[in-house]
Amino acid sequence: MNKFLFSFAMLAFSTHCFAAANMEIWPVTISFTGSAKNSVFWLKNVGSESVSLQVRVLNWQQADSKNLYAEQNEVYTVPAFTIIPPQKKIPIRIYGIKNQGDKEHDLKVIIDELPTPDVNQKSTQNNIKIRMQYILPLFVYGQELQPAILPGADGVPKEEHHLIWSVKKNTLWIENHDKTHVKITSIDFKCGKKACYHQDIPVSYVLPNAKMAFVLPHDHLIPAAASALEIHPSR
């Protein structure tokens, strides 16, 4: 049961393999149906020193144009803590998901890099601090969802999502009235049949039945004649 909702800034990744600092992670978007017993992703230490990691899974919701995250204890990873030697890789398996209905269950996998305590410091001092944090979206599709509305590896379903959009000043609002998420990395407005506005966006998502705001640059105004919106899920 979710007991506490909170929000915090997160990094998002759009490629199939992400590398930052001394870690490689793949895939960077995890999805599977609720009938699967578990899912897996990989961590590789490409540095010259061992890396200590903690892995957690949080529930993910959107409300009031904010991402909200909740502690939960149903979905978990094995291992939850690990030390990866230099140039070694390990699988991280995700267990505990059951989704029998026709909805999408949205979660985030949080990977915290934990430094080794400095042995030169006094033992009374707590020197453990989080260094890097990696965040992976995790989507679990209900067994009753139609395959045509499930996003593919590029974030695009076979059937178009039912979206409603509006613009107020330099803010674009997108409402997702479908049963699966929408991934966004760039947008195009059309004036008639021609594209008249393009804007790249940091990798973002609009979850089912959510409404999110995207602030666009003030110096790049959306034409008043814009009549259609195209969303691009992958770069």
Q: How far is CA 177 from CA 100, 112, 136, in A?
A: 21, 33, 24
Instruction: Please tell me the pTM assigned to this model.
Output: 0.83
- Side-by-side strand order, sheet with 89-95: 18-20, 23-26, 39-45, 89-95, 76-78
210 and 130 share one domain: no
129 and 31 share one domain: yes
- Look up the CATH number of the domain holding residue 211: 2.60.40
104 and 208 share one domain: no
Print the domain residue range for 44: 5-141
Evaluate whether 188 touches 178 at the Cβ level (below 8 Å): no
15 and 34 share one domain: yes
17 and 124 share one domain: yes
Evaluate whether 206 touches 62 at the Cβ level (below 8 Å): yes
Q: Which of 141, 156, 185 is the last residue of a domain?
A: 141
What's the CA gap between 148 and 142, in Å, rounded? 13
**Residues 54-95: tens digit of each pLDDT:** 999 999 999 999 999 999 999 999 999 999 999 999 999 999
**Residues 106-151: tens digit of each pLDDT:** 999 999 999 766 555 555 455 555 478 999 999 999 999 999 999 9
113 and 197 share one domain: no
